[in-house]
Structure 1
Amino acid sequence: MPVSDRRALLASIHDVSPGSERQVDRLAGLLTDTLRCSRFAMLVVPDHWGRHPIRSGTPFANRLRAWSDSGIEMFVHGWYHKDTVEHQGISGLKAKYMTASEGEFLGLSYDEAARRMEDGRALVEDIIGRKSAGFIAPAWLYGPEAMEALRDSSFGIAEDHMKVWIPQTGEVVARGPVITWASRSTARTASSLAFAALARQALHPLRTVRVAVHPGDTTKDSILSSIEKTLRRFARSRQAGSYRSLMT
């Protein structure tokens, strides 16, 4: 049976940077123990909020390469992850309600988006010694010019909240909401826990289920418990897989 016909579970750790190394370690251990393999993805931020640059030859860069060598897929996840653009209209609503000033690629020009994508790709690929798996914008938010830049890039795969697609052709290779958690407030945490519980029952018909975790998730035991429960529930009936397998 072709890999693309299998029911898959795609798990990912977002916001991987030197500043989140301890939390990423914990999440990587949780995913590895729960899935019983290292078939998951890491989304790497080259210079998180301009405070945590990744540099070749550093201990953290060596860890990235070791993680990649173990089979973990590496995505480029923006450059700064911080959004400094003043937004209007629908973009303003997205920037205000869907993220805490982290939709970096929501308001960038084509040239700036293309530059940050290419610089991120070059840095990550130089460190891991292989092609990156693809590009995923911070907070899964893409402005129209960033979408054009992504289409013209060499990245093999991209995703947002509701789908995974091939940038150059627009072909959608997986559909359905990503399961993720929010730790910024009590209300957001409660809402994300409720959605995860619903998703554990409702998303089984999907061919591909996506689960995304963040460093902030490690601050709340309720979220960590929900992550483990969600992964275990879906792992019973589907195989932990790679994003690249969607393209075969």
Structure 2
Amino acid sequence: MPVSEGRRLLASIHDVGPGSEREVDKLAGLLTDTLRCSRFAMLVVPDHWGRHPIRPGTPFANRLKAWSDSGIEMFVHGWYHRDTAEHHGLAGLKARYMTASEGEFLGLSYTEAARRMEDGRALVEDIIGRKSAGFIAPAWLYGPGAIHALRDSSFDIVEDHMKVWIPQTGRVVARGPVITWASRSTARTASSLAFAALARQALHPLRTVRVAVHPGDVSKEEILSSIEKTLRCFAGRRAAGSYRSLLDQRI
């Protein structure tokens, strides 16, 4: 089937850091082989759960630089990824049931959110030697403090579950749900596999389709199979693209 002009497939690997290097390697190989290129993104966590810091000059930092040099976009993906704030009401439900305590930016103040964003940006850009592609909060969750901090930031692009936007202006440059998978439980895995199957049928009309994979996905062969099937399905009808290419697009 011919590739549709102007339609994009945006693929990304989340939670990239020294503690997930083996899993990221496997996912990067899967994406590169399936898409036949390195046009995808990596979401970098500077110090995952406070246990896996990325330090300039280390072998892992050198790998990030090499991946970036190959054309892979690098996003700042929080700082710790872990959510340690206290939440109430709807935010409490999201933090407890949707994220397994990984929605780091859901409860941060403006000042703390801005500090972690800037520290993450400085670290990633120092390592890769170029501007980062943007910022994506862990679990795609943003509290009021994070949204405010993003408006004052220098990041070009931000995304959540349902859209991609320019934070300084709020202009939306892509809409539609992210296709992603869950490996934490049998029920969550089954639900995510079902959604991916539905998405392969229903999301073709979208101008931009987003697919996101996580290190935990490599633990289940049925998830890896679904990822490959989903990527092949969409790559057959649209080009693998970059998030930066959205900056000149209006919807």
Give TM-score scaled by structure 1 length.
0.98
The separation in 2 between residues aligned to 1:169 and 1:201, in whole angstroms, is 33
Instruction: Please report how far the alpha carbon of residue 107 of structure 1 lies from its aligned counterpart in structure 2 after TM superposition.
Output: 0.1
Instruction: Please report how far the alpha carbon of residue 244 of structure 1 lies from its aligned counterpart in structure 2 after TM superposition.
Output: 0.1
Aligned counterparts, 1:43-82, within 5 A: 43-82=43-82
The separation in 2 between residues aligned to 1:55 and 1:223, in whole angstroms, is 31
Instruction: Please report how far the alpha carbon of residue 97 of structure 1 lies from its aligned counterpart in structure 2 after TM superposition.
Output: 1.6
The separation in 1 between residues aligned to 2:45 and 2:36, in whole angstroms, is 26
Is residue 2:113 matched to residue 1:110?
A: no
The separation in 1 between residues aligned to 2:204 and 2:42, in whole angstroms, is 24
Q: Please tell me the root mean square deviation across aligned C-alpha atoms, in Å.
A: 0.5
Instruction: Please report how far the alpha carbon of residue 98 of structure 1 lies from its aligned counterpart in structure 2 after TM superposition.
Output: 1.2
The separation in 1 between residues aligned to 2:53 and 2:241, in whole angstroms, is 29
Aligned match of 2:141: 141
Overall identity of the aligned pairs, in %:
87
The separation in 1 between residues aligned to 2:58 and 2:240, in whole angstroms, is 30
The separation in 1 between residues aligned to 2:181 and 2:198, in whole angstroms, is 13
Segments of structure 2 that go 5 or more residues without pairing to the other structure are none
The separation in 2 between residues aligned to 1:188 and 1:90, in whole angstroms, is 21
The separation in 2 between residues aligned to 1:222 and 1:145, in whole angstroms, is 38
Aligned match of 1:219: 219
Q: Which contiguous aligned blocks of 4+ residues in structure 1 show a shift greater than 3 angstroms?
A: none
Q: Which amino acid aligns with 2:58?
A: T
Give TM-score scaled by structure 2 length.
0.97
What SS does the corresponding residue of 1:233 show, helix, strand or coil? helix
The separation in 1 between residues aligned to 2:80 and 2:96, in whole angstroms, is 18
Instruction: Please report how far the alpha carbon of residue 102 of structure 1 lies from its aligned counterpart in structure 2 after TM superposition.
Output: 0.1
The separation in 1 between residues aligned to 2:152 and 2:100, in whole angstroms, is 28
Aligned match of 1:244: 244
Q: Which amino acid aligns with 1:87?
A: H
Q: How many residues matched? A: 244
Aligned match of 2:184: 184
The separation in 2 between residues aligned to 1:235 and 1:212, in whole angstroms, is 14
Aligned match of 2:230: 230
Is residue 2:100 matched to residue 1:100?
A: yes
Aligned match of 1:42: 42
Instruction: Please report how far the alpha carbon of residue 45 of structure 1 lies from its aligned counterpart in structure 2 after TM superposition.
Output: 0.1
The separation in 2 between residues aligned to 1:142 and 1:151, in whole angstroms, is 12
